[in-house]
Chains A and B, each alone.
Chain A
Amino acid sequence: MIRVRGLVKRFGQHTVLHGIDLDVARGQVVVVIGPSGSGKTTLLRCLNFLEEYDDGEVVVDGALLGYRRGADGRLGRRSEEEIAKSRSEIGMVFQSFNLFPHKSVLDNITLAPIYIKGVRRDVAKQVATELLTKVGLAHKADAYPGTLSSGQQQRVAIARALAMQPKVMLFDEVTSALDPELVGEVLTVMRGLAEDGMTMVIVSHEMQFAREVAHRVVFLDGGRILEEGPPKTLFREPSSERLHAFLRRFTEGYKLSV
């Protein structure tokens, strides 16, 4: 579903991603971990072209993302319309929810289907209601985001992304901004998605969650993938000293039982 080869991203002189290779098969859940500043967010943003990459390729469902190879074999940027189309097939959930404060919960969810896909209003509403039920917020359809708890807002954000029926879902530390007691309700929704077979790339510090849900864990450090593998193996026998140290910081804090 996603194939990344030699992905390089620079901000000015500063290279943030040094040639990333990553494959995510259909229905797979990949959790990306790594220290702050290692490039996790940047990697995720390259996967839906919110960030333009400088070298390498990102292929989503067979199509090169953001660029197209011209007749002369050279790469050119795709049109805004094509890029928007690709993005509509890739769901993204942000750390800070980024809901539309001037729209009700229901309208947050139906806005994109109605305006981008041309879905009929009543159909969009029905789909939105089903999604809200799925994330346990059917009773909040008419509320405004500002009146919801952080956990509820994040669940609405997930429903909003799902309403576009994406092929892939990207999650960037979606529980980091939540009150600790609200983390569970969001993780439960994500666990449900994984069970439904959704393809997901999740940046997260929730090691226990990663262990349960991930098919594969990727450890990013300094813009490079240092290690990857099934969570059990990776967490139990980290081969690099960096991952070992990284995990130790977490086990000290959270008492990880692997």
Chain B
Amino acid sequence: MGGYFFDFGFIYRNLPIFWSGLGVTLEVSVLAMAGAVVGGLVIAFGRMSRRVWLFAPATAYVEFLRNTPVLIQMFGLYFGLAVLGFRLSPITAGVLALAGQNAAYLAEIYRAGIESVGRRQLEAALALGMRRWRAMRLVVVPIAVTRLVAPIGNQLVVIIKDTSLVSSISVYELTMEGKRLAERSAATYEVFATIAVFYLVLTSAVSLALRFYERRVQLIF
């Protein structure tokens, strides 16, 4: 009876397929997260610059990438560039698209954090006689980073979930493998429930790790 509702045996027999999909999902997630975290920082400094030639492109980047669907950006990188003769591998295109859009989101998170959180402390540091870059390094950035743990964590979770979109440019990650498995069997329900659990475990791991870090950090606030 239990087997009728949820065929554990089927899932168990096909675990290697899930592992392989999970491996690709992890790879795409980690690369996209790293790209977004670092790229976002670069763009955030552009957004905060007083130099127009840094500010303007950074702003255009953020506005364009935040206001178009990431799936379309992915198609653009994969199919669009191929038409122009630049053939990216599906994984590269997928990682670039996810990192690219999330860098735009993270840049805004960083900027808001740095500008609002550090304003007063920055002035205090300047009033003590620190030069700007030193005040940023010793005071503003450390404060901003610790206060931004939660919103950054949320964005990383979004990245993990959005990796499922790269299945649409035929990357064989978790969602894609699951879809293929479901199509050639009758265990649709089992397959997608299992996939959901995998994603849940991944996102929870990131959330928990960050919450743990935040707790430690908050002890000093």
Binding site for B on A (CB under 8 A): 48, 50, 80-81, 84-92, 94, 96, 98-102, 111-112, 115-116, 144, 146, 157, 160-161, 164
Residues from chain A with Cβ under 8 Å of B126 in the complex: 50, 84, 87
Does the CB pair B124–A85 fall under 8 Å? no
Question: CB-CB contacts of B11-33 with A at 8 A, as 1s and 0s?
Answer: 00000000000000000000000
Contact across chains for A112 and B129 when beta carbons are under 8 A apart: yes
CB 8 Å contact bits of B119-139 with A (1 = contact, 0 = none): 011011111111110100011
* A18–chain B nearest beta-carbon distance, Å: 25
Known contacts A94-B120, A100-B139, A102-B143: A48-B132 contact under CB 8 Å = no
Distance (Å) between the CB of A78 and the closest chain B CB? 12
Q: How many residues of B contact A (CB 8 A)?
A: 20
- Cα(A48)–Cα(B221), bound, Å: 29
Partner of B131, one of A81, A89, A111, A146: A81
Chain A residues with Cβ below 8 Å from B142 are: 102
Contact pattern, B 137-157, Cβ under 8 Å of A = 1, otherwise 0: 011001100100000000000
Q: Are A94 and B123 in contact (CB under 8 A)?
A: yes
Residue B52 is within 8 A (CB to CB) of chain A in the complex = no
Tell me whether A116 and B128 are in contact in the complex, defined as CB-CB below 8 angstroms, given that A98-B120, A102-B146, A111-B138 are known contacts. yes
Q: Are A112 and B132 closer than 8 Å at their CB atoms?
A: no
Q: Do A80 and B132 form a contact, CB below 8 Å, given A102-B143, A102-B146, A146-B221?
A: yes
- Which A residue's beta carbon lies closest to that of B143? A102
B83 within 8 Å of A by Cβ?
A: no
Task: Tell me, in angstroms, the Cα distance from A112 to B135 when the chains sit together.
Answer: 10
Inter-chain contact B123/A164, CB cutoff 8 Å: no
Q: Are B220 and A84 in contact (CB under 8 A)?
A: no
For B123, list chain A residues within 8 Å (CB): 50, 94, 98
Other-chain contact of A164, B129, B131, B134 (Cβ < 8 Å): B129
Residues of B within 8 A of A87 (CB): 126-129
Which residues in A have their C-beta under 8 angstroms from that of B138?
Answer: 111, 115
Residues of chain B lying within 8 A (CB to CB) of residue A90: 127
Complex Cα distance A81/B133, Å?
11
The chain B residue with its CB closest to the CB of A95 is B120
Residues of A within 8 A of B220 (CB): 101-102, 144, 146
Q: Which residues of chain A have C-beta atoms less than 8 A from B221's C-beta? A: 101-102, 144, 146
Q: Are B124 and A88 within 8 A (Cβ)?
A: no
Q: For residue A146, which residues in chain B have a CB less than 8 angstroms away from its CB?
A: 220-221
- Give the complex CA separation of A87 and B126 in angstroms: 7
State how many angstroms separate the Cβ of A201 from the closest Cβ of chain B: 13
The verdict on A85 contacting B129 (CB below 8 Å), with A100-B121, A102-B221, A115-B134 known, is yes
A89 contact set on B, CB distance < 8 A: 129
Minimum CB–CB distance for A148 against chain B, Å: 12
Question: How many Å from the CB of B113 to the closest CB on chain A?
Answer: 13
Residues of B close to A86: CB separation below 8 A: 129
Interface residues of B in 32-60 (CB under 8 A from A): none
Selected contact of A100 from candidates B124, B127, B132, B134, CB within 8 Å: B124
- List of 3 A-B pairs having minimum Cβ-Cβ separation, nearest first: A88-B129, A98-B124, A112-B128
Closest to B146 in A: A102
Q: Is the CB of A116 within 8 A of B130?
A: yes
Chain A, residue nearest B144 (CB): A102
* A161 in complex: contacting residue of B120, B128, B143, B146, CB < 8 Å: B128
Q: Which residue of B lies closest to A163 (CB)?
A: B128
Chosen A-B contacts, 24 in total, with CB atoms closer than 8 Å, are: A50-B123, A80-B131, A80-B132, A81-B131, A84-B126, A84-B131, A87-B126, A87-B127, A87-B128, A88-B128, A89-B129, A90-B127, A94-B124, A98-B121, A98-B123, A100-B124, A102-B220, A112-B129, A116-B128, A116-B129, A160-B124, A160-B128, A161-B127, A164-B129
Complex CA gap A48/B123 in Å reads 11
**Interface hub of A81, A87, A88, A99 (most chain B Cβ within 10 A):** A87
CB pair B120–A84 under 8 Å, yes or no, is no
| Assembly CA distance A102 to B143 (angstroms) | 6
Tell me whether A115 and B130 are in contact in the complex, defined as CB-CB below 8 angstroms, given that A101-B221, A102-B146 are known contacts.
yes
The docked-state distance in angstroms from the alpha carbon of A86 to that of B124 is 14
Task: Name the residue on A nearest B145 (C-beta).
Answer: A102
B43 to chain A, nearest CB (A): 24
Q: Which residues of A contact B130 (CB under 8 A)?
A: 84, 112, 115-116
